[in-house]
Chain A
C-alpha cells in the first residue's frame, strides 16, 4: 500500500474517532469550546506520533526478541505514561509558550484510548517503521479534524433551542452520529 493511500485511509476512511470509536472521552469532553478543541488536537498530534514510533520500537526491539509479547498492554501504557510525563517536563522547561497552550490536556492524554489504540493497530497490522510513523500521524490528524469539526458544530448547537431531554450529551451523540455518517461516505475511496 502506498503512503498516500495509507495517510488518506487513516485520516478519513478509518477515522479513529468516527469510524473506530476510539478517544470518545476527550471527543465529548473537550469539544464544547473551539479553543479547548484546538488545544487538545495539537497535544494529541504531538504525543500520538511520538508514542506510535516509540511503542513500535519497544515492541520490535524489546518485547519480540525476549518473547514478552503477552506483556504488550502493560508495556505500552507505561511507555505512553512516561512519554507524556517526559514531554510535559521538556515543554515546561524549553517551550513554555506551547506548554501553557496545551495546559491540562497534556496529562489527560495518558488515558486517551486513541493513542493506545493507534499504537496497538500499528503493531497488529504488522506495519514497518515508516508505515507506523505515517499511520500514527494520519490517525492523529484524523482525531484533530473530527474534534475541531465537532466543536464547531457544538458551538452552533448552543444557540439552537434543543428539547429538554435531548440536551447536552444526548444531542452531542446524535450530532456525532451525523458527522460519522458524512465520514462514512469516504469509505469507497481507498
Chain B
C-alpha cells in the first residue's frame, strides 16, 4: 500500500468528497438538507453505518465468497442501519422523525455499498476504518454545507437562530424541491471553478 493512512482519510474530505466528486448517494443529499441540523444528523448517521460496514467487511473479506459478496455486504449494511434506526429512536427521536424515510434508505445508499465493494473488500482493517471515517466526514461536511446554504437563504435562520431580523423576506424556493437541485448544481459549479485553478 503506497498511500498512508492520513491520505486514505483526507481523500474523503476533498479529492473524492461525496457527493461532489463521487456523484453517488444523492437522494439524502437533496432530501434532508432543508436545515443544517438535518444535514449534520443525516451525515453522522451515514458515517456510523459506513464505519461499521467498512470494519466488518474488511474483517470478513477473506471469508465472504466472491459470488455472493454483494448480498453479504447488503446484509452487513442493513444490520448497521437497523442499529442506527433503533439508536435514533431512543436518543434523537425528533431528528429521526424529520429525516423520516431517509434513515432506512441508508441501506441502499450507493456510497456505503460502493466503499464496501471498492475499498473495504480489498484492504486491511485499519485502512478501511480510515477510509470510512474520511468519506463519512466528507459526506457530513457536504450535507451540512448544503444545509447551511439552503437554511440561510430559504428561511433566514442558521441552526434555528434568526439572522436578518423581521424585514427579511425568506427565499422559500430554496427549501423546496426545485431549490435543492439548483443549490447542489450551483455548488458543484463553484467547486469546479475553484478546483480548475
Contacts and interface: CB of A to CB of B under 8 A. Distances in A.
Given A70-B82, A174-B182, A177-B179, 15 more contacts: A21-B30, A22-B101, A24-B26, A29-B23, A73-B81, A73-B107, A78-B75, A113-B27, A113-B108, A116-B107, A169-B188, A173-B184, A173-B185, A174-B181, A176-B181
Q: Which of A21, A23, A183 has the most CB of B within 10 A?
A: A21
B116 to A, nearest CB: 12
User: Which among A19, A71, A171, A176 has the greatest number of chain B C-beta atoms within 10 A?
Assistant: A176
A117 B179 CA distance: 22
Contacts, number: 126
Given A70-B82, A71-B82, A173-B181, A81 B107 contact: no
B105 A116 contact: yes
Interface of B: 23-31, 70-71, 74-75, 78-79, 81-82, 85-86, 101, 104-105, 107-110, 113, 176-182, 184-186, 188-190, 192-193, 196
Contacts of B25: 25
A2 interface: no
18 contacts: A20-B31, A21-B31, A23-B27, A70-B85, A74-B75, A77-B107, A111-B108, A111-B113, A112-B108, A116-B105, A116-B107, A117-B105, A170-B185, A170-B192, A177-B178, A178-B178, A180-B178, A184-B176
A172 interface: yes
A180 to B, nearest CB: 4
A22 B177 CA distance: 12
Interface residues of A, number: 46
A120 B105 CA distance: 9
Interface in A7-58: 18-25, 28-29
A29 B14 CA distance: 22
A111 B25 CA distance: 10
Nearest to B114: A111
Interface of A: 18-25, 28-29, 70-74, 76-78, 81, 110-113, 116-117, 120-121, 124, 164-167, 169-178, 180-181, 183-184
A167 to B, nearest CB: 8
A125 to B, nearest CB: 11
